[in-house]
Structure 1
């Protein structure tokens, strides 16, 4: 049984469908990456799964439960967290308050998860009393990832986690994503650094104009000449 199954997804904004029959699978323990040109519908897939936009057709299932059309708070309760590309921290709250916001639906002791986040991101522990808005872009991304982990999710959706970051910080973010996956958390990721993302993922989907163009293991996509020339910069 797949962890996440997206079958024949049609979704978009207003009366316009951006996605036109997209299929995606994420198996337990996998990192899966969505790549493709701007406007292909990659981020739209993430928003549709998380209940942020209208779904007009198809089915989304998580752990074999139909979650199509659920509200974001209901999707979170099912075990899926979302790390958006922009505005992904509360800038006036401290780092620790941001992390605690990630546990907003929990009524139990989440100190173990908070400790795990600080072990994963030691820089956040050092800055835990500082406003998140004062952090660097890479550190804010770590806060957003850490907040998602506070609910001990089975799947994390990451939308362009390295966007706008310096190359050295990009490497660090990818390393952190791998560490999160090593904890047993599956990841579905949209990423502009397509070649680097494929190198550290298990499988990939290439989308164009709201449709599946290529689907294969990351190794096979990296070795595919057409994919390399059209989507990976040669």
Structure 2
């Protein structure tokens, strides 16, 4: 069943369209990755889904409901959360306070959810009283994802979750994403480490100039010679 459907979406910043009719979908329980060259519209596509970029044409549907151009603060009520690439934690707040901020629309007991997140990311339990700004880049990314999970979303949007991380931490981050997915959370992510991301994904989209140029399973895209030559050289597609 389709969790997210993006149909013929055009939009961008000001009067300039960055997206030129993209189509994407994420089914329940899937990990879907978006790759492509710089300027292809990858992060713009993610922001358009979450209401951060104006859509001038096309539709975004979430669990069958049209959420096109809905404000982000309304979209989270539908069960979708977004983790941006940068400035994604409250640096002066503790880890636990960051998680509490993530549950801002909930009126029930959030402690069981917080315990599940601490089980998922044990280092966060150890550092729960430390300011998030004092943590390493990988640990801050865990806090950002944990905060988003406090709303128990159906779909988690991740924009470049491994950007700027050391290789060993990148592997750990991908394992964390798989763990989140196994909890029943759908994942849509933009990722520069294309080979690793496609290897763990159910489906991938290759964006070129604001259009979905290639669409297939992650493994099929890895085996596609044209995709490999254009976007996977050297192990990364920026």
Q: Counterpart in 2 of 1:200?
A: 200
1:135: how far off?
0.2
Partner of 2:75, secondary structure, is: helix
Could you tell me how far apart the structure 2 residues matched to 1:233 and 1:88 are?
30
Partner of 1:3, secondary structure, is: strand
Could you tell me how far apart the structure 1 residues matched to 2:203 and 2:34 are?
9
1:213: how far off?
0.6
Q: Counterpart in 1 of 2:15?
A: 15
Matched, 1:36 2:50: no
Partner of 1:97, secondary structure, is: helix
RMSD of aligned residue pairs (Cα, Å) = 0.6
Q: Counterpart in 2 of 1:184?
A: 184
Structure 1 segment 162-173 matched on structure 2, within 5 A? 162-173=162-173
Structure 1 segment 1-234 matched on structure 2, within 5 A? 1-233=1-233
Could you tell me how far apart the structure 1 residues matched to 2:51 and 2:112 are?
29
Could you tell me how far apart the structure 1 residues matched to 2:100 and 2:174 are?
24
- The TM-score, its normalising length taken from structure 1, stands at 0.99
Could you tell me how far apart the structure 2 residues matched to 1:69 and 1:177 are?
27
Could you tell me how far apart the structure 2 residues matched to 1:33 and 1:176 are?
15
Q: Which 4+ residue blocks in structure 1 deviate beyond 6 angstroms?
A: none
Could you tell me how far apart the structure 1 residues matched to 2:211 and 2:53 are?
17
Partner of 1:184, secondary structure, is: coil
1:48: how far off?
0.5
1:200: how far off?
0.6
1:53: how far off?
1.4
- Cα deviation 1:108-137 (Å, max 9, x = unaligned): 111111001000000000000000000000
Partner of 2:197, secondary structure, is: helix
- Cα deviation 1:153-175 (Å, max 9, x = unaligned): 00000000000000000000000
Partner of 1:153, secondary structure, is: coil
- Cα deviation 1:170-228 (Å, max 9, x = unaligned): 00000000000000000000000000000011000000000111000111100000101
- The TM-score, its normalising length taken from structure 2, stands at 0.97
Could you tell me how far apart the structure 2 residues matched to 1:79 and 1:62 are?
9
Could you tell me how far apart the structure 1 residues matched to 2:57 and 2:169 are?
38
1:101: how far off?
0.6
Q: Where does structure 1 lack aligned partners over 5 or more consecutive residues?
A: none
Could you tell me how far apart the structure 2 residues matched to 1:92 and 1:103 are?
18
Q: Where does structure 2 lack aligned partners over 5 or more consecutive residues?
A: none
